[in-house]
Amino acid sequence: MHWNTRYAIRSYLRSALWIVPLITLVLEQIAIRIVGSLESYSGWIPVAANATDSAIGAMDVIAGEAISFLVFTFGSMLVAIQVASGQLTPRIIATTLLRNNVIRFTVGLFVFTLLFAAGARSRIIGEVPNLTVAIAVVLGISSIVALLFLIDYTARLLRPIAIVWRLGEQGLRVIDEVYPNLVEDPHAPSPPRPHLGAPVRTLANRGPSAIVLAVNLKALVAMAKQAGGVIEFVPRIGDFVAADEPVFRLYGGAAALTDEALCAEAAFGPERTIEQDSLFAFRVIVDIAVKALSSAINDPTTAVLAIDQLQRLLRRAGKRHLHDDVIQDEASNLRVILPTPDWNDFVQISVREIRLYGASNFQVARRLRAMLENLISTLPAARHPALRLELDLLDRTLERLNMLPEDLALAREPDLTLPGRFLHSPGSVRSPGRPAYTAGARACQSVACSQAQPMRSAIASSPPRHTTCRDVGSPDLVIPFGSARAHRSRKFTHRVIKAGVVDWSISATTGAGVRQVGVSSASIPAIAAAKSAFSRRRSASTSRYCRAEIAAPARTRGRTSASTGSALLSAMSPTSA
> pLDDT tens for residues 143-169?
999 999 999 998 888 888 988 999 999
568 pLDDT above the threshold of 60: no
More confident residue, 560 or 127: 127
Tell me the pLDDT band of 174, cut-offs 50, 70 and 90.
very high
- What average pLDDT does the segment 413-435 reach? 44
**Average confidence (pLDDT) over 231-251:** 92
- Over 90: is that where the pLDDT of 386 sits? yes
- 165's CB contacts (< 8 A; 6+ apart) are 309, 453, 454
pTM above 0.75, yes or no: no
pLDDT score recorded for residue 188: 67
Specify the pLDDT at position 441: 29
User: What are the backbone dihedrals phi and psi of residue 257, each rounded to the nearest 5 degrees, phi first?
Assistant: -70, 145
Residue 562 pLDDT level (bands cut at 50, 70, 90): very low
Residue 509's pLDDT band, with cuts at 50, 70 and 90, is very low
Kindly indicate the confidence band of residue 543, based on its pLDDT and cuts at 50, 70 and 90: very low
- Residue bearing the bigger pLDDT, 16 or 287: 287
pLDDT of 195 strictly over 90 = no
More confident residue, 249 or 565: 249
CA dist 70 and 74 (Å) reads 6
**Who's near 213: CB < 8 A, 6+ residues apart?**
7, 11, 237, 267, 268, 269, 272, 273, 275, 276, 277
Distance CA 268, CA 244 (A): 14
pLDDT at residue 427 greater than cutoff 60: no
The mean-pLDDT minimum among 94-103, 124-133, 526-535 falls in 526-535
What pLDDT is attached to residue 508? Answer: 33
* Helix, strand and coil in the chain, % to nearest 5: 50, 10, 40
**Which pLDDT score, from 0 to 100, does residue 230 have?**
92
Mean pLDDT over 454-471 rounds to: 35
356 phi and psi angles, rounded to 5 deg: -65, -40
Confidence of residue 43 (pLDDT cuts 50, 70, 90): low
Q: Does the pLDDT value for residue 425 go beyond 90? A: no
**Quick one: which of 251, 275, 245, 187 has its CA closest to 4?**
275
Arithmetic mean of pLDDT, 94-120: 88
- What separation, in Å, do the N-terminal and C-terminal C-alpha atoms of the chain show? 68
CA distance to 370, 373, 383, 507, 545, per residue, from 377 (Å): 11, 6, 10, 13, 19
Query: Residue 16: its pLDDT value, please?
Result: 83
- Which pLDDT score is estimated for 54? 84
**Is the dihedral angle over the CA atoms 431, 436, 439, 442 positive or is it negative?**
positive
Q: Which of 96-100, 195-199, 315-319 has the highest mean pLDDT?
A: 315-319
Is the CB of residue 285 less than 8 Å from the CB of residue 168?
Answer: yes
Q: For residues 235 and 247, is the Cβ–Cβ distance under 8 A?
A: yes
**β strands within 27-102, DSSP E:** none
Listed residue (383, 362, 356, 361) closest to 372, CA to CA: 383
Tell me, what's the pLDDT at 396? 92
Q: Do the beta carbons of residue 181 and residue 214 sit within 8 Å?
A: no
Cα separation of 358 and 371, whole Å? Answer: 15
pLDDT of residue 411: 85
Over range 279-308, report the average pLDDT: 92
The confidence band for 212, taking pLDDT boundaries of 50, 70 and 90, is: very high
Average pLDDT (438-452) is 29
**φ and ψ at residue 269, rounded to 5 degrees:** -160, 175
Tell me the CB-side half-sphere exposure of residue 178, using CA atoms within 13 A. Answer: 27
pLDDT at 364: 92
Per-residue confidence (pLDDT) for residue 444, from 0 to 100: 28
Rounded CA Rg of the chain = 31
pLDDT band at residue 81 under the 50/70/90 scheme: confident
Q: What is the pLDDT of residue 193?
A: 72
Of 5-14, 351-360, 466-475, where does the model show the most confidence?
A: 351-360
**Residue 454 above 60 pLDDT?**
no
Task: Please choose, from the candidates 429, 427, 423, 434, the residue with its C-alpha nearest in 3D space to the C-alpha of residue 403.
Answer: 429
Question: How far is C-alpha 369 from the chain's CA centre?
Answer: 19
Which residue type, as a one-letter code, is found at position 200? V
Give buried/exposed letters for 61-78 (b at 16+ CB in 10 A, else e): ebbebbeebbeebeeebe
Pairing assessment for the beta strands 210-215 and 266-269 based on DSSP bridges: antiparallel
Q: What's the pLDDT band for 251 if we cut at 50, 70, 90? A: very high
Q: Looking at the predicted structure, is the pLDDT value of residue 511 above 60?
A: no
On the 0-12 / 13-18 / 19+ scale of CB atoms within 10 A, 131 is buried
Asked whether the beta carbons of 451 and 404 are under 8 A apart, the reply is no
Helix (H) or strand (E) holding 55: helix 52-87
Strand order in the sheet with 513-516: 477-480, 547-550, 513-516
> What is the predicted pLDDT for the residue at 60?
92
Please report which confidence band the pLDDT of residue 412 belongs to, taking 50, 70 and 90 as the band edges: confident
Q: Is the pLDDT of residue 406 over 90?
A: no
Angle at CA 372, nearest 5°, toward 378 and 370?
Answer: 100
Distance CA 210, CA 414 (A): 42
Give the number of other CB atoms < 10 A from CB of residue 89: 22
Higher-confidence residue: 433 or 187?
187
Residue 556's φ and ψ, nearest 5 degrees, are -105, 0
Does position 417 have pLDDT exceeding 60, yes or no? no
Comparison of pLDDT for 127 and 404, the residue scoring more? 404
The predicted structure's pLDDT at residue 502: 31
Q: Among candidates 549, 548, 501, which has minimal Cα distance to 522?
A: 501
pLDDT value, residue 178 = 87
Task: Please check the confidence at residue 371 and state whether its pLDDT lies above 90.
Answer: yes
* CA distances (Å), origin 329, targets 119, 218, 229, 323, 338: 59, 10, 12, 14, 14
pLDDT exceeding 70 applies to what percent of the chain? 69
Percentage of the chain modeled with pLDDT above 90: 35
Amino acid in position 268: F
d(CA 60, CA 67): 11
CA distance 567 to 269: 68
Q: How far is the C-alpha of 117 from the C-alpha of 235, rounded, in Å? A: 53
| DSSP code for 271 | S
Q: How far apart are CA 558 and CA 552, in angstroms?
A: 9
Which ranges of 254-327 would DSSP assign to H, the alpha helix? 259-263, 280-292, 300-318
Residue 241 CA to residue 338 CA, distance in Å, equals 15
Mean pLDDT of 267-290: 91
